[in-house]
Amino acid sequence: MIQVPHLEWHVTHSCNFTCQGCGHYTNDGYRENISLQTLKDWYLLWNKRIRPRELSMLGGEPFLNKEIVDIIYMTKEVWDVKEDQKLELVSNGLLFDRVKGIDRALIDTNCVLTITKHSADPDYIKLFDKSIESIKDSGVNYMIHDATDYWLKSYNGYGSSIEPITSDNYIKSWDNCPVGQENFILQDAMIYKCSPLAYLPLQKKKYGDLLSSKWDSYLKYMPLDPSASDLEVFEFFIRTAETVCSMCPSSKNMFKKDSPLHSPNYAKKFQTEIKKN
Ligand code: SF4
């Protein structure tokens, strides 16, 4: 078994938020869940080869996947998650009350619910506080990741208008990696270095030729395939900076996000304006 610091994956590409600069590109109206069976098939290709210290289910917004309760139980079982590992579900929390059985599933599987706090926008905060009250009352083990003042931008624009910020020093980009340096992604049975590389092909599929050609070289990135040898798997996880990291800015591009609750149409107009200025 090759020890891996962190592995995460989308249980859905759908999201109820339209966050500016989403590092998973799921801010502009994707409607696609990953089924229980598909996830199980992906897990079975890797669960006997790697042992992640942290296993994280996310999206998009995981509560939009109607199979989420079964997915949590199945994930715990198939990965055989032990006490020295962390099983986590990352959510914005707003739909917690709408998912029947979610509290029981999280408690039964010792799965931590991580709630990301996205913005200081007063309308959003009202909904956020209400959902935290429910989560607290439910007895699940939860933590709040307060990212209100800590969003890192890895590209400009929104939807089809996105463009990489790029850098002429990929080592500096890696040093300032906008999504953390060890957040490996399981997507379509393969393992990617990070979310911007893993989900970029979805943007290409969605927007085709509308997507800037500035992304073309990054779309050629080769993820880790399940047919890789043990040595190739080992080498993949110990790589640090790679030339593909030139896709990202060379410094920490921190910004305060607007409300995540805007409609995709409003967000597109608003964020395209920001890009022009
Ligand atoms: S391409 Fe490199 S710097 Fe950019 S998010 Fe991925 S790992 Fe980080």
DSSP per position, 117-160: E----HHHHHHHHHHHHHHHHHT--EEEEE-TT-EE-SEESSGG
Q: Which domains does the chain have, with CATH numbers?
A: 2-276 (3.20.20)
Nearest CA to ligand 1 atom 1: 245
How much is the average pLDDT of 234-244? 97
Report whether residue 12 contacts ligand 1, using a CB cutoff of 6 Å.
no
pLDDT in tens, 165-213: 999 999 999 999 999 999 999 999 999 999 999 999 999 999 999 999 9
Report whether residue 165 contacts ligand 1, using a CB cutoff of 6 Å.
no
Report whether residue 178 contacts ligand 1, using a CB cutoff of 6 Å.
yes
Q: How far apart are CA 87 and CA 170, in angstroms?
A: 32
Give, for 74, the enclosing helix (H) or strand (E).
helix 68-78
CA–CA distances in Å: residue 254 to residues 84, 150, 261: 33, 6, 20
The mean-pLDDT minimum among 100-104, 115-119, 253-257, 269-273 falls in: 269-273
Task: Please report which confidence band the pLDDT of residue 277 belongs to, taking 50, 70 and 90 as the band edges.
Answer: very low
Q: How far apart are the CA of 154 and the centre of ligand 1, in A?
A: 9
Report whether residue 131 contacts ligand 1, using a CB cutoff of 6 Å.
no
Read off φ and ψ for residue 124, nearest 5 degrees: -65, -45
